[in-house]
Chains A and B, each alone.
Chain A
């Protein structure tokens, strides 16, 4: 299948009925997109296809032929939403975060609270109660998220 993946042309071989989620995670080694339910309820597997958020656990690989697919890795780590989710508590355990950010990307500029609620109704978060997610999105849109580039993760493995 030939498609555009995170801005680059990709040519990937997989069973045409393989879930896009599995092709991304296992064939393309992009594990940022997560599986939470396998039934299109939790949105943890959200990616963009031609700019539209979809549940990649429900997309057959054959159907991305010629399409533009964007995953969390495609945001490059410098998207204002990414900075804001760190600074304003939008991410706690983080498992819903990649899907949540991709869905938030598709909300468009300066969404109102009802627009955020409707636009993110397909993304379940069990940690935050959603409030900090709205705060993060608002901050990203105000341009007030200012993450200094961090080179250390603050974690050690011995």
Chain B
């Protein structure tokens, strides 16, 4: 099979549209007879609605409340607990209660709706909550024995705050009704089939009565994994009631206030270790703040707990995690999905263990890092695609880490490191349950890829076209990628979990092989003329050797893992306690890069987000709502906040990945925060809680 596109930096499929302004994002679209939508939200964090008063002239208005839900009033995802519109009980501030639509935006904006509440006492503390969305237990060996064998037991408690995905394009959808029994929703989203299912449930519609079309999406990072089901439901309700297309777009303030964020967490470690540095026991307790409704907390917790002990060998492991309800807006998916939280704790704790043992931080990791043949906390045996030591050694060598650790001591500067890993694809039996499909349709020039996987900036269209092109033996330019339109494309599963290349790319590869076989010696044009249209579909098959037990949480949690090591140098300003990252190196092993430029783009972008998570991005909650809901006050890194990002890609082809590829989308965000905090520690300051703002650094210095 001649390889001409894979491994090269072909031009992005939709690149020209994006740089000319021709790419059409949701808010660029309009429809005839359009109404604009608006969401009226609760202003209390907990309580019952006593009365709703519409204090405006209702001429020309469409008003929707929960009575207007034709199907079932919940946002279908995992649980059935989250109403699309509040019926009586409010469980978080900014919860949607009533929807309005009008053709004039100013009239719409000026409508006043009064809601009276019987407020009840909210709880914002996940550790005091009595309602758990999920509990997870992972056990390996015998923890008490492991602790007994230890020469030293080191404890630590670590905290991570919310983080906002901050896609530069806010959420938005347009719902277009066709009579009263058909609806099409266009929108900025990652998972058209999630929206499709949620709308069927909400509206009581069948498969072909709902059509969902993803529009060009200006960033997602997980923030448009499940939330679009909510906003799509709202627009659809307004559209069906009014009989007109409805555009519902959030401004930045509403998006910050009302949509999902990364789960905050408190993670406690108790680690048993021998004098020579070998880990004998890893005992972890984690509490995740799920917000008011379950949404994806169960799976975030799952991934978080599976990664919680870090990429280290240990015979005795006990991990206990729980996701708790609080009266705050529900938290949800954000790149990393539990692993940035748990690996923050794991990697900061490793440095503390090293300190207590008086063993060098690199040495401790070298002693314990996974090697092929080791088993993980869930008992998964790692194969040759385990590169923990390789990435560690490369990062240490490249940055002259050990020399710098000595040289920078006492200078107000520091250098820190983190070693991390990230499973590709859905956990355990998740991929099997998804049963994803990919189709390939013959065209005159070549082929058209039909998948529900979405382009959200990471390069889905480009990467899948490269895989198809090389498998078919056709030029990259001969491959088209269809819009993610549920009327046309099969359900390839969601665009999440670092699965789009490894899982869906593999399906595209299988479909391409099948198509190529069917073509035989004919060109596409010849085939079409002779036989008519041809579409082939490939469906996910579980690799035989993989087995997972949901009940005991044991087995092969992921098909394969990526491996990473970050090294960060920081400066701590003695006048202002501000932390400036001055150098950043990251070594990643992701199997193989289908498109080295796109892979690098994911690593650079994810690393920058990780730096923001570490020191800048602070969601200030007051009375259960985000008080700093403006970009002036929720700050992400600018050009001047982001150091040069030195990326090293190690290739270690994964045999079952398309052309050897694993996933890359999420892993880059797992590493920066612990590396930064470890560097801050090296500079002399002990913080265990991110974001490590100057105020926290100051307090840590004061308590020295």
Instruction: Please give the residue numbers on chain A whose beta carbons come within 8 Å of chain B beta carbons, in ascending order.
Output: 25, 30-39, 41-42, 44, 71-73, 75, 77, 81-83, 85-98, 101, 113, 116-118, 120-132, 147, 150, 152-158
Contact = CB atoms under 8 A, between A and B. Distances in A.
Interface of B: 9, 11-25, 27-28, 165-170, 216-221, 251-252, 443, 448, 456-459, 461, 465, 477, 479-483, 485, 487-488, 597-598, 600-601, 604-609, 630-632, 636-640, 642, 644-645
A104 to B, nearest CB: 11
28 contacts: A39-B632, A72-B20, A72-B21, A77-B20, A89-B597, A90-B19, A93-B169, A93-B219, A95-B168, A96-B168, A96-B218, A113-B644, A117-B639, A117-B640, A127-B605, A128-B601, A128-B605, A129-B606, A130-B608, A131-B645, A132-B600, A132-B601, A147-B11, A150-B16, A153-B14, A154-B481, A155-B461, A158-B485
Contacts of A86: 11-12, 15-16, 18-19
Contacts of B28: 25, 31
Nearest to A100: B19
B12 A121 contact: no
A121 B639 CA distance: 5
Contacts of A82: 19-20
B20 A36 contact: no
B19 A101 contact: yes
A19 to B, nearest CB: 13
A153 to B, nearest CB: 6
Most-contacted residue by chain A among B17, B25, B639 (CB, 10 A): B639
A82 B20 CA distance: 7
Contacts of A122: 638
A34 B169 contact: yes
Given A89-B598, A94-B457, A127-B605, A41 B21 contact: no
Contacts of B601: 89, 92, 127-128, 132
Most-contacted residue by chain B among A33, A81, A130, A154 (CB, 10 A): A154
Nearest to B482: A156
A44 B630 contact: no
Given A72-B21, A88-B597, A77 B448 contact: no
Contacts of B630: 37, 39, 41
B482 A36 contact: no
B601 to A, nearest CB: 5
Given A39-B632, A86-B12, A93-B169, A71 B21 contact: yes
- A-B interface, 9 closest residue pairs, ranked by CB to CB distance from nearest: A32-B21, A95-B218, A93-B457, A94-B18, A129-B608, A86-B15, A92-B457, A41-B631, A129-B604
Nearest to A35: B27
B639 A126 contact: no
A155 B252 contact: no
Contact of B605 (A31, A92, A95): A92
A86 B459 CA distance: 12
Nearest to A72: B21
Given A96-B168, A126-B165, 13 more contacts: A34-B25, A72-B21, A82-B20, A87-B9, A92-B601, A98-B19, A101-B19, A121-B639, A126-B167, A128-B604, A152-B477, A154-B465, A157-B483
A92 B15 CA distance: 8
Contact of A98 (B21, B219, B606): B21
A75 B13 CA distance: 20
A154 B479 contact: yes
A80 to B, nearest CB: 11
A26 B264 CA distance: 40
Contact of B485 (A44, A97, A157): A157
Contacts of B461: 154-155
